[in-house]
Amino acid sequence: MTSESVLKIHGTLIPYRVVIRSNAKNVTLRINADLTLRVTVPPYIRYEELDTILRDKTDWIWKAREETRLRLEALPRHSFAENDCIPVLGEPQTLHIHASNKQNVTITWHRSDQSFEVTVPPEWVDASYSQTLYEAFTEWFKQFGKRHATERLQEYGTRMGRLPKKLVLRSQTSRWGSCSSDGTIALNWRLFLGPREIVDYVIVHELAHLFHMNHSDAFWSTVEDILPDYKVRRQWLREHGQLLDLHRDRPSP
pTM for this one?
0.73
Residue 3 has pLDDT above 80, yes or no: no
Q: What is the mean pLDDT of residues 128-144?
A: 87
Dump pLDDT digits (tens) for 73-121: 766 677 788 888 889 999 999 989 888 887 788 899 998 989 999 988 8
Dump pLDDT digits (tens) for 35-63: 889 898 888 888 888 889 999 999 999 99
Q: What pLDDT score was predicted for residue 5? A: 84
Q: What pLDDT score was predicted for residue 250? A: 46
* CATH class of the domain at 85-243: alpha beta
Contacts with 27 (C-beta within 8 Å, 6 or more apart), sequence order: 39, 40, 41, 42, 45, 50, 53
Question: Can you give the residue ranges of every domain in the chain?
Answer: 2-73, 85-243
Dump pLDDT digits (tens) for 199-240: 999 999 999 999 998 888 999 999 999 999 999 999 999 888
Dump pLDDT digits (tens) for 154-194: 999 999 999 999 999 988 766 899 999 899 999 999 999 99
Task: Name the phi and psi angles at 182, rounded to 5.
Answer: -90, 5
